[in-house]
Chains A and B, each alone.
Chain A
């Protein structure tokens, strides 16, 4: 579905991604784990068309999207749930969701797919309760759900999520990740960028480990969970202490 080959990108003179190749197949959750500054967000922003690649290929369903505009990419079925949710806080929950469907509705003269809205409110019942509330008044977890719901309104084939666990209490993280898993089980495809490697690998099918702009490991989530480097660096296990 998504295929990246030898991607290079950066800001000004600073090269952030040095040479990245990865792919996402339909129906799977693929996670990219890595520390702060490894280049995870840069990668998602590049796929989304917010940053221009310096070199390399990005294809989405066999179409080259490396030069496409951000809204075109969303229209083609590749949506981003941005880091820090970025909901429109002075608008209502309802309005936020409608905006998510903008790429489709605008062409049909603001014809709103009530069906789509209902489907999403079915996944996130709490948003239905908060329908008329301003998005800025929601809790962190609710805002994250709204951000995901908003992205789903564009009927994406691939949902990219940037750090959905950020700043959320462990219980809420669990809830959000259950929803991501549920989305996959319903046939959606997810590219999940996370610092919380344990949670991400817990639900993912495959993963890539990004370090300073390069992928140093990749494989099934199970293999990565049992890789000692991953355990030491990302799962916070003190292996030496365990062996003592």
Chain B
């Protein structure tokens, strides 16, 4: 199923022409209308007329989160405020929020792209979609809401929080598709179990999850517990919000809406593009945004391009699920460590729960890492020996995955604080 087959399955040649045309007009507009870009291009002596192919893109400067903050709140807008019909702000996963705006056309485009992502994830106009993302400055709630409405689905704008009410509504309204963060989906699943509700009494079929990195194992867990098909989708407010990319039912990478975004993968250290297929930082240039175009925005998200064509028929290239962020990469004893690595190790070990927290301290001059791992209750009733064995096993696996040794502490279920939005996986107590 496609939402816009002629676009989603267009030939690479036509797509490239369209990207070139849209890049051209975007550059002309940002140069004309955004003082930040005009100044930057002029300072660097960049003639936008000389950008003649997608390869020339790398001659343009990056836009960073700091640039957006420096122009807080409206400095990066390319249209007068009277043309802006909506304002959102970044969820501020890290640091201060940044403000983005949308024209009427931007909202239309956004809704359409989200409808594409929902369709790719299995949702149709016949579905009842429960949106458990916050409806706020955060783009998740409204973005998915407008997309689902555009699709013609029945939308339940429940927003995030109040898990037992979520479940009650899920039962009563016969929700067929759940939209939220993957960690919240797990919390909902666990709560359903605790409330003694049979999953078979629910009507859930699909889950579309995003806004935070998650692993393949977590997908399995969610699919098993909720008996749904779970797909990943990606977006960020600085670029638009949800709808930048989304998985199809092949569940093997997210199709990027390349007719509206050009993506590059760069090495975050050298800032040079990496070969297709290599992992690096995702950089996005918007092609159709009116109010808030960005050129080469550094997302800090780490991923790679999947070059193999997808059996689903879409020609839009795929990116692998986001593996982490360059800024939540922990440097521990000089080694780069991503929370997602720890997560995938824990998932493979029998007896652990998918809830964990990484605590980093500095003892003297040494970094010290403790991972809190929730374990099944049965382990606490059993002998100490079994607990010790489990700790040793986790330690060994983590050491071979990460290349450093970490402390493990087993904790009882529910010890680690549950999140209704983005899960807090890392507590870094080090002071630099």
Residues in A lying within 8 Å of B, measured CB to CB: 3, 5-6, 18-23, 208-209, 211, 214-219, 223, 226-229, 239-240, 243
A18 touches B49 (CB 8 A): yes
B21, B83, B108: which contacts A215 (Cβ < 8 A)? B21
- A217:B25 contact, CB within 8 angstroms: yes
With a cutoff of 8 Å between Cβ atoms, the chain A residues found around residue B49 in the complex are 18-19, 214
List of 9 A-B pairs having minimum Cβ-Cβ separation, nearest first: A228-B83, A19-B49, A6-B52, A21-B21, A214-B28, A216-B28, A215-B25, A18-B49, A21-B20
Cα distance, A223 to B103, chains bound together (Å): 11
Given A21-B17, A227-B290 in contact, is the A216-B25 Cβ separation under 8 Å?
yes
- Assess the B20–A217 pair: CB atoms within 8 A: no
Q: Which residue of B lies closest to A240 (CB)?
A: B82
Specify the chain A residue showing the minimal Cβ separation from B17. Answer: A23
A22 contact set on B, CB distance < 8 A: 21
- Is B255 close to A, CB under 8 A? no
Q: Within the assembled complex, what's the spacing in Å between the Cα atoms of A228 and B83? A: 7
Contact with A along B14-36 (1 / 0, CB 8 A): 10011011101100110010000
Interface of A is mostly: strand
With A3-B17, A5-B17, A21-B20 known as contacts, the answer to whether A218 contacts B25 (CB < 8 A) is: yes
Give the shortest distance, in Å, between B262 (CB) and chain A (any CB): 14
Across the two chains, which residue of chain B brings its CB closest to A232? B83
Contacts of A23 in B (CB 8 A): 14, 17-18, 21
Tell me the nearest residue of chain B to A18, going by C-beta.
B49
Residue from A20, A219, A243 in contact with B82 in the complex, judged by beta carbons closer than 8 Å: A243
In the assembled complex, the CB of B205 is this many whole angstroms from the nearest CB of chain A, namely 33
Residues of B within 8 A of A215 (CB): 21, 24-25, 28
Is the C-beta of B104 less than 8 angstroms from some C-beta in chain A?
Answer: yes
Q: CB-CB < 8 A to A211: which residues of B? A: 28
Question: Could you write out 11 A-B pairs with CB less than 8 Å apart?
Answer: A5-B52, A6-B53, A19-B49, A23-B18, A208-B21, A209-B25, A218-B21, A219-B105, A219-B288, A223-B109, A240-B82
Tell me whether B79 is interfacial, beta carbon within 8 Å: yes
Q: Chain A CB within 10 Å — which of B28, B82, B109 has the most? A: B28
Query: A residues within 8 A CB of B288?
Result: 219
A217→B29 contact, CB < 8 A = yes
Given A223-B108, A226-B104, answer yes or no on A21-B24 (Cβ-Cβ < 8 Å). yes
| Chain B count of residues within 8 A CB distance of the other chain | 24
Using CB atoms, name the residue of chain B closest to A228: B83
Q: Does B103 lie within 8 Å of A216, measured CB to CB?
A: no
| Distance of A229 Cα from B84 Cα, bound (Å) | 12
- In the complex, are the beta carbons of B20 and A5 less than 8 A apart? yes
CB of B188 to closest CB in A, whole Å: 38
Measured between beta carbons, the chain A residues less than 8 angstroms from B18 are 23
Q: Given the known inter-chain contacts A19-B49, A19-B52, A23-B17, please indicate yes or no for A216 contacting B32, CB distance below 8 A.
A: yes
| CB closest chain-A residue, reference B78 | A229
Rounded to whole angstroms, the CA-CA distance of A243 and B80 in the bound complex is 14
Q: B29 to A216, Cβ gap below 8 A?
A: yes
| Among B22, B82, B108, contact of A218 (Cβ-Cβ < 8 Å) | B22
Complex alpha-carbon distance, A42 and B53, angstroms: 23
* Residues of A contacting B52 in the complex (Cβ-Cβ under 8 angstroms): 5-6, 19
CB distance from B134 to the nearest CB of A (A): 29
Chain B residue at smallest Cβ distance from A62? B13
With a cutoff of 8 Å between Cβ atoms, the chain B residues found around residue A20 in the complex are 24
CB-CB under 8 A from A21, the residues of chain B are 17, 20-21, 24
B342 to chain A, nearest CB (A): 45
Q: Could you say which residues of chain A place their CB within 8 Å of the CB of B28?
A: 211, 214-216
How many Å from the CB of B4 to the closest CB on chain A? 12
Q: How far is the CB of B399 from chain A (nearest CB, A)?
A: 54
A243 surroundings in chain B (CB, below 8 A): 82
CB distance from B26 to the nearest CB of A (A): 9
Apart from A21-B17, A216-B29, A223-B105, list 10 A-B contacts with CB within 8 A: A3-B17, A6-B20, A19-B24, A21-B20, A23-B21, A214-B25, A215-B28, A217-B25, A227-B103, A228-B83
CA distance in complex: A211, B33 (Å): 14
Residue of B nearest to A218 (CB): B25
Question: What CA separation (Å) do A219 and B22 show in the bound complex?
Answer: 9
Interface centre among B17, B22, B24 (most CB of A within 10 A): B24
Interface string of B107-129 (1 = CB under 8 A from A): 01100000000000000000000
Contacting residue for A227 out of B14, B22, B105, CB 8 A: B105
Contacts of A223 on B, CB cut-off 8 Å? 105, 108-109
User: Cβ of A208: which chain B residues have Cβ within 8 Å of it?
Assistant: 21, 25
Interface centre among A6, A20, A23, A208 (most CB of B within 10 A): A6
A-side contacts of B109, CB under 8 Å: 223
Tell me the smallest distance from the CB of A20 to a CB of chain B, in Å.
Answer: 8
Expressed in whole angstroms, the Cα–Cα distance for A216 and B23 within the complex equals 10
In the complex, how many angstroms separate the beta carbon of B335 from the nearest chain A beta carbon?
A: 46
The residue in chain A whose Cβ has the minimal distance to the Cβ of B18 is A23
CB distance from A106 to the nearest CB of B (A): 35
Given contacts A21-B20, A216-B29, contact A226 B105 (CB under 8 A): yes
CB distance from A212 to the nearest CB of B (A): 10
Q: Nearest B residue to A6 by beta-carbon distance?
A: B52
B108: chain A residues within 8 A (beta carbon) = 223, 226
CB distance from A93 to the nearest CB of B (A): 40
- The answer to whether B20 touches A228 (Cβ under 8 A) is no
Per-residue CB contact flags for chain B residues 183-225 toward chain A (1 = under 8 Å, else 0) read 0000000000000000000000000000000000000000000
**When chains A and B are docked, how far (Å) is the Cα of A226 from the Cα of B109?**
12
Contact of B79 among A18, A19, A216, A229 (CB under 8 A): A229
In Å, the complex CA distance between A217 and B27 comes to 10
- Using Cβ atoms and an 8 Å threshold, which residues of chain A touch B79? 228-229
A18 to B27, CA, bound (A): 13
Q: In this complex, what residue of A is CB-closest to B24?
A: A21
Tell me, rounded to whole Å, the shortest Cβ–Cβ distance linking A16 to chain B: 13
A220 shortest CB reach to chain B, Å: 10
- Whole-angstrom distance between the alpha carbons of A6 and B290 in the complex? 22
Interchain nearest-CB distance for A242 vs B (Å): 11
Residue on B with the closest CB to A215? B25
